Amino acid sequence: MSIATELTPDGSPRILYLNRSDIAAVGGDHAELYVHALRRALVQHAAGEVVQPLKPYLRVGQGGHIADRIIAMPAHLTEPGVSGIKWIGSKHDNPGRAGLARASAVIVLNDPQTNYPVGLLEGSLISAWRTAAVTCLAAAHLARKNFTEVALIGCGVIGRTQIDALLEQFEQIAAVHLYDLDPAAAQTLADAITGAHPAATVRVAGSAEDAVRSGDLVVPCTVTDQPYLRFDWLRRGALLSNVSIMDVHKDVFLGADKVVVDDWDQSNREKKIINQLVLEGSFSREQLHAELGEVLGGGKPGRDSDDEIIVLNPMGMAVEDIACAAEVYARARQAQVGTWLNLY
């Protein structure tokens, strides 16, 4: 379905508003929709067929928490022909202070023919699931075949979605090892996983190191800006999907057999760990194995041996959000779900 400007009979442009329940009703709370839409988007990204400006971070004041910001993430994809932006806010203390999730977002979809807005979607559900689907796609190409052990550090919204998506996509997963600085968060997630996926064994680990040492696939989803995860904690053959970006010591990138990013330019900025290594002269684009879309499209190999330690640094890209939101929009149009809003 094309993303086209809609007019009411009296000539007002109208937009389709999809709240979280609408998005879930068309499959937006499961991995399948996202894996499908993302594979296509990431391959287009690697082929240079998307437009994706570097995302600006709106931060207020000096020296605030790393997770206190609003990020603007615009992108255009030629297939399926859509432009749009995710506007995603975050406050690290929302859960404790306000009883709210850390992140909130809206996504606006635009018709590239007119550049009019055509869709407005709740964005944090899509954001969490697309992030989980990136790990699923990476696991399919970069993890050991038939990996069975998953380690998760940080048991919030993003962590939970990672585990739900992985258990949906990989039936062979036997055990999930959880760690959170807040033991209650780890236990709450352990109970939720056991309830939803009774076939998997769930263990709350005594430390981050204990969890990481148990993982064939290791996924940090914290809000830290203090690296704690050391290279020598990783098993031979591990894949680390570095979702929360700042958890790993520099030696993880320097020791890994392959480093894969979603986008080099997005990874090499804002004093993130890769950017720090580049500024010090100890890492460069030449040492990068690939961008993820190159692996998915077959242009670069994925895992070559069971022994390799591979690190994926997924900064998170606007093309992912816009491609997934466009798929949700198309399914909602087909299912006649959502609320029309007139612009005039």
Ligand X SMILES: NC(=O)c1ccc[n+]([C@@H]2O[C@H](COP(=O)([O-])OP(=O)(O)OC[C@H]3O[C@@H](n4cnc5c(N)ncnc54)[C@H](O)[C@@H]3O)[C@@H](O)[C@H]2O)c1
Quickly tell me which residue has 């779900």 as its tokens: 337
Where in 273-338 does DSSP place strands (E)?
A: 290-291, 310-313
User: What letters, b where the CB count within 10 A reaches 16 and e where it falls short, cover 300-332?
Assistant: bebbeeeebbbbbbbbbbbbbbbbbbbbbbbbb
DSSP line for 124-138: HHHHHHHHHHHHHHH
Write the CA distances from 266 to 41, 111, 270, 273, 275, integer angstroms. Answer: 16, 25, 9, 12, 9
For residues 118 and 178, which CB has a smaller minimum distance to ligand X in the complex? Answer: 178
At closest approach, how far in Å is the CB of 146 from ligand X? 26
Greatest pairwise CA separation for the chain in angstroms = 66
For residues 16 and 311, which CB has a smaller minimum distance to ligand X in the complex? Answer: 311
Residue 46, classed as helix, strand or coil, is helix
Residue 48, classed as helix, strand or coil, is coil
Which residue's Cβ has the minimum distance to ligand X? 156
At closest approach, how far in Å is the CB of 340 from ligand X? 30
At closest approach, how far in Å is the CB of 122 from ligand X? 15
Angle at 288 (CA atoms; ends 259, 166), nearest 5 degrees: 30
At closest approach, how far in Å is the CB of 158 from ligand X? 3
> Exactly one of 55, 86, 91, 300 is catalytic; which is it?
86
State both tokens at 161.
């979605």
At closest approach, how far in Å is the CB of 185 from ligand X? 4
For residues 15 and 157, which CB has a smaller minimum distance to ligand X in the complex? Answer: 157
For residues 43 and 219, which CB has a smaller minimum distance to ligand X in the complex? Answer: 219
For residues 118 and 133, which CB has a smaller minimum distance to ligand X in the complex? Answer: 133
Q: How far is CA 323 from the centre of its chain?
A: 13
User: What burial class does residue 92 get, using C-beta atoms within 10 Å of its C-beta: 0-12 exposed, 13-18 middle, 19+ buried?
Assistant: middle
Active site residue 300: no
At closest approach, how far in Å is the CB of 115 from ligand X? 26
Which stretches within 13-105 are classed as H helix?
20-25, 31-46
Task: List interacting residues with ligand X (CB under 6 A).
Answer: 67, 95, 102-103, 127, 131, 153-159, 179-182, 185, 208, 221-224, 228, 243-244, 314-316
Sign of the Cα torsion 153, 157, 163, 166 reads negative
For residues 167 and 205, which CB has a smaller minimum distance to ligand X in the complex? Answer: 205
For residues 100 and 174, which CB has a smaller minimum distance to ligand X in the complex? Answer: 100
183-196 and 157-169 helices, crossing angle to 10° = 30
At closest approach, how far in Å is the CB of 8 from ligand X? 36
Query: Between the CA atoms of 81, 87, 93 and 94, what dihedral angle is there, to the nearest 10 degrees?
Result: -90
Active site residues: 86
